[in-house]
Each structure stands twice: as C-alpha cells, then as structure tokens.
Amino acid sequence: MSTCPAEGYSAANTDAENIACVVATMNTAFVNYDTSNTNFWLMFGAILVFFMQCGFAMLEVGMVNVKNTKNILIKNVFDASLGALCWWFFGFAIALSAPANGENNSFIGSENFFMKDTDNSVKSTWLFQWAFAATAATIVSGAVAERVTFGCYIVYSIVLTSFIYPVVVHWGWNATGWASAWREEDLLFDCGVTDFAGSGVVHLTGAVAALAGAATVGPRIGRFDAGIKLPQQSVVFQTLGTLILWMGWYGFNGASTLAIGSSTGDLSSAAAHTMVTTTIAAATCCLCTVGITALMSKDKVIDIGAANNGILAGLVSITAGCSSVEMEGAFCIGIIGSLWYIAGVATLEYFKIDDVVGAVPVHGFCGVWGVIAPGFFTSKEQYASAYYSARAADCAGVFYGGNGNMLAANIVFVLAVIGWVGVLSTILFQLCKMTIGVRVSLEVEENGMDDSKHGGKVFSATPVPTQEV
C-alpha cells in the first residue's frame, strides 16, 4: 500500500501514486490556507468593530456635560468587559449554537454554554460576534446618560448581552433561526430576512432597549424647558468619535462576509462591494441631513452635530443591505435614511423623550429603514454574490424584479424585534424602577455623576452653565 509523506512525494511509490499524493497534499494546503484566511479576516474585523468602542466613548463623552465624564467613560469600558463575560457564559451559546441531536432550535440556542465544547476554529467567530454584542449594549448607555443609576446600568447591560440580544442574533443569523436567510428549508416567505450586518439584529435591538430606558428614566432636568439648551462637553470629541465609528464600520459590514477568498465563492469581491456601498450611504446621508436641517433652521445653520449623526444614520441604514444593493441603491438609501433620522428626532421631541446622543433616531428609526430597504433595492446579481444564486430572482428587491417575499420577511422581522426587545426591556426597566431604582437623586444629577460615584470630576472640569436659546 502506498503512503503519502508530508512533502507529497516518495521514491517507494509509482508515478501515479506520487501524483495522487501531491494533489492530496495541495488540496489539504489550500483548505488550511482558506481556513487561515478566514480566521484572520474575522479577527481583523473583530479588532475594527471593537475599536468602535473608542468611537462610542468619544461620541458620548463629547455630548454629555463635563461633570459626567468619568461616568460615561466607565460605562463604555464596562460594556466591553461585562459583554465579554456575558457572551462567554451565555450569549454565544444562545445566539449561535448548533442544534443538538437534530432538535429544532429555531427560537433560541441551548448548547455549549461557557464554550466548553468549542474547538479553536470557532473562536475567531466568537471574538467577532462579541464585538457586535458590546456595540448593542453601548447604544443604550448613550441614550440614558447623565441620570440613570449605575446599578440599573449594570442590570440592563448584563441582561441585554446575555439574553435579549442573543435571541435576536439566533433568529436572524443562526442557520436554524426562524427568520434566517441561511436556513436550508422552511425559510420565512421563502427568503428569510436580509440583514447582512445587523441594522435590525444589532442596531434596532439596542435602540428599542434605549427607548424603553429613556422613557422609563425620564428626561434630564431642564431638557424640555423653553429657551434652555443643556451643555455638551466637546464637539471635537463628538466628531472624532463619529469618524472612528465610520472607520470601524468597515469591519462591521465588510467582515460580515465571515470569510475571505473562500472556495465557495469570491467573498473578497463581496466584501469590497460592501465597503463601497457603506461609504456611499454614509456620505450621502451626511450631506442630506446637514442640508435639510439647515433649511429647517431659523438661521440656516450648517450644524456639525447634524453632520455627525447624519453619517451614523447612513451607516445604520445601509448595514442590512450593504452586500446586496447596488451603488445607486446605497445612494437612495442614504437620502431616505436622512429623512428617517430627522423624523426620529422630531418624534422624540414631540413625546418629550430625552435621548442624549440621538441613539433612537440613528439606530432605531434608521435601523427599521435599514432592514426594510433591501426589500426594495437588492439586485439579483449582488444577492447571488452575498447569499444564494438559486433564489436571487425571487428574493431580489421589488425595484429589481423580486416578488416581494424578501420585503415581507424583513417587515415581519422588524416587528418581531420591536415586540421582543420592547416588551422585555420595558419589564426590565420597570422592575429596576420598583427595586434598585432607575434614576439618581436630584442632588446627584445637579452635581454630576462623577462626584457621586467616581471620585470627583476630571481634573480639567470647569462648570459649564446652562445656555439660554
């Protein structure tokens, strides 16, 4: 019997046997090379997405009063730290575990808690998905900043990362999830939801929880008093944070191909296309948001705050369809995303819901639009490249010849996420309100969170008076 040595050639073998050995050795090398590329791609993507925590930290610290600097920074640090342990203990298993013994787990995963039975090849996926989970928690902290108790923050961060968010991930991204486009059979409306990188799974989930929290905690003192504008620390930090987030989004969207140079298709081209549509939507939404808000303002102000949130609104709007829409589709999605963002700001103002960083308009309203948008703008060619060519004709957007099934699946998914996260988050915040409390005392809010919990204000802090407008 012939044997194949490590180098693929042996003098003891016939020429035919040596050729077969060389071919087998090359095939093994290509498989290992492909796996290595994929692992590196996911780890690189995880680093970019994790760097978004720096962006969130700078954005949020720039938009709060200087007296709450340490408080908002420690929450961003804790979002990553608590999120890592929660994702290791429970989250990853609930979100992405495979079914045991052929069981149907279309609603929630139930295997491999603490990752005890996970081989090393899955750990790059764990790392990438942990960075996403930390992002979902951070969306909430910005909305309820400057008045929520630290205890309430700890509770909602743990519950959101351990249970509420992982269930949504399971629905949309697990190959057995009831709404997933990666299912092999019994797809929702024969297409499943097209939420490639998480307009709904990540951003809408975080925003619905943020809305429940902001409504329960109530507005900051003076937030809706006539003629009053609450002080913000630094537009420089806010802008720096936004640009860091834009950069990190290339990992968020691009690396969501989950592989690169795969033997199953040219995923490097899909990743490149994804990054281009991400850029176009962000730039378009930025300019449209600034233009519309300038026309609406009394003094025709070209507002840097509108530019920053316009960028983020465009990024959220394109995240679901980044791999499946054409460039002109991304352009249209960015334009319409600016309208959804502005409508979100007006809605919160009307109902007097205080969202410090605009998380609900950016991640919530544009998250809804982001999931719906592929139902209109997905092309057959790009769907075939990012998903499955066999169903591209039916699951394309209605503007590109699709039959509307994917649009229907996406709308159902949006409603399911709002219902699931909204109900559980409202219960969670109400339980906190009845037990440990959700809001700091009047004295703490006026003096600042840093004095009460974090050893005093930052050394450079100087009192910033409330502005009259």
Give dist(CA 119, CA 116) in Å, integer: 9
Q: Which of 27-31, 132-136, 137-141, 174-178 has the lowest mean pLDDT?
A: 27-31
- Section 204-223 average pLDDT: 97
Which residue segment(s) compose the domain that 433 sits in? Answer: 41-468
What percentage of residues in the chain have a pLDDT greater than 70?
Answer: 88
Residue 33: is its pLDDT beyond 70? no
Give dist(CA 97, CA 106) in Å, integer: 11
Residue 29: is its pLDDT beyond 80? no
* Any domain includes 235: yes
* Any domain includes 17: no
Question: For 334-366, how does the pLDDT look when each residue is reduced to its tens digit (9 = 90+)?
Answer: 999 999 999 999 999 999 999 999 999 999 999
pLDDT of residue 11: 57
Whether residue 44 contacts residue 433, with contact meaning beta carbons closer than 8 Å, is answered with no
Q: For residue 53, which amino acid is it?
A: Q
pLDDT of residue 13: 59
Q: For residue 99, which amino acid is it?
A: P
* Any domain includes 323: yes
The residue among 96, 73, 90, 80 whose CA lies nearest residue 47 is 80
pLDDT of residue 31: 42
- Section 268-282 average pLDDT: 96
Dihedral pair phi/psi, residue 256, rounded to 5°:
-75, 0
Tally the domains of the chain: 1
Q: Check residue 141 and report its DSSP letter.
A: H
Q: What is the CATH number of the domain that holds 367?
A: 1.10.3430.10
pLDDT of residue 410: 98
Q: For residue 224, which amino acid is it?
A: F
Predicted confidence band at 99 (pLDDT cuts at 50, 70, 90)?
A: confident
* Any domain includes 117: yes
- Section 240-267 average pLDDT: 88
pLDDT of residue 148: 97
Average pLDDT in the chain:
91
pLDDT of residue 469: 58
Whether residue 394 contacts residue 190, with contact meaning beta carbons closer than 8 Å, is answered with yes
Residue 261: is its pLDDT beyond 80? no
Predicted confidence band at 37 (pLDDT cuts at 50, 70, 90)?
A: confident
Predicted confidence band at 277 (pLDDT cuts at 50, 70, 90)?
A: very high
- Section 194-220 average pLDDT: 98
- Section 256-273 average pLDDT: 80
pLDDT of residue 27: 44
Question: For 432-466, how does the pLDDT look when each residue is reduced to its tens digit (9 = 90+)?
Answer: 999 999 999 999 999 999 998 899 988 665 555 55
- What is the number of residues in the chain? 469
Q: Which of 236-245, 273-282, 293-302, 418-427 has the lowest mean pLDDT?
A: 293-302
What percentage of residues in the chain have a pLDDT greater than 90?
Answer: 80
3 state DSSP class of 7: coil
* Any domain includes 412: yes
Give dist(CA 318, CA 203) in Å, integer: 11
3 state DSSP class of 411: helix
pLDDT of residue 22: 45
Give dist(CA 432, CA 438) in Å, integer: 6
* Any domain includes 33: no
Contacts of residue 213, defined as CB under 8 A and 6 or more positions apart, other chains included, come to: 140, 143, 144, 148, 156, 425, 429, 438
What tokens does 181 get? 């486009």
* Any domain includes 26: no
Please give the full DSSP string across 245-275, using - where no structure is assigned. HHHHHIIIIIGGG--SS-TTS-HHHHHHHHH
What tokens does 380 get? 């057959």
Give dist(CA 278, CA 325) in Å, integer: 10
* Any domain includes 35: no
- Section 10-30 average pLDDT: 50
Question: For 101-152, how does the pLDDT look when each residue is reduced to its tens digit (9 = 90+)?
Answer: 666 789 999 888 998 877 787 899 999 999 999 999 999 999 999 999 999 9
What tokens does 342 get? 């502005």
Q: Check residue 189 and report its DSSP letter.
A: G
